[in-house]
């Protein structure tokens, strides 16, 4: 949960997106912008971890991006979760069932196919 701003209002919602794919990065960024949610795009594993540790409201990761190591990132964040962690969502190609299952076991709250992610991103962000 975000701390109130100096004016007593909650600060803006923020997500960290480990999505190097331009189509999905644009889709997530566009949906977030329409809802007034800030997006921090991460293009590497280290940038994703740094962003995840900065207290976002949501982490969204592309399982098909080899530079992200999405499963490893989830395991690392789970190991640090004694302080709590934000909601984590991973998405990937429906043909990579083993990768989707590994992400769920690694600790992602939701694991979606790319089609599901495209269809549900606005609703997911609106629920923050």
Q: Structural domain tally of the chain?
A: 1
Q: Which residues contact 65 (CB under 8 A, 6 or more apart)?
A: 18, 19, 20, 21
Determine, yes or no, domain membership for 110.
yes
Q: What angle do CA 101, 107, 110 make, to 5 degrees?
A: 70
pLDDT tens for each residue of the chain, 128 residues long? 444 444 444 568 999 999 999 999 999 999 999 999 999 999 999 999 999 999 999 999 999 998 899 999 999 998 887 767 899 999 999 999 999 999 999 999 999 999 999 999 999 999 99
Looking up residue 50, the CATH number of its domain turns out to be: 3.40.50.2300
Give the residue among 71, 76, 81 at the shortest CA–CA distance from 106.
Answer: 71
Q: Does residue 4 form part of some domain?
A: no
- Find the domain containing 59 and state its range: 14-126
Instruction: Confirm whether 6 is domain-assigned.
Output: no
64 found inside a domain: yes
């Amino acid at each position: 949960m975000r701390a109130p701003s100096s004016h007593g209002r909650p600060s803006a919602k923020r997500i960290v997106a480990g999505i190097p794919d331009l189509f999905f990065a644009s889709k997530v960024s566009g949906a977030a912008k329409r809802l007034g949610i800030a997006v921090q795009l991460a293009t590497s594993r280290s940038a994703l971890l740094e962003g995840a540790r900065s207290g976002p409201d949501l982490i969204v990761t592309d399982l098909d991006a080899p530079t992200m190591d999405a499963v490893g990132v989830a395991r690392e964040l789970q190991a640090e979760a004694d302080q709590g962690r934000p909601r984590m969502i991973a998405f990937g190609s429906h043909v990579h069932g083993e990768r989707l299952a590994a992400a769920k076991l690694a600790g992602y709250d939701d694991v979606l196919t790319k089609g599901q992610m495209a269809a549900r991103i606005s609703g997911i962000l609106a629920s923050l």
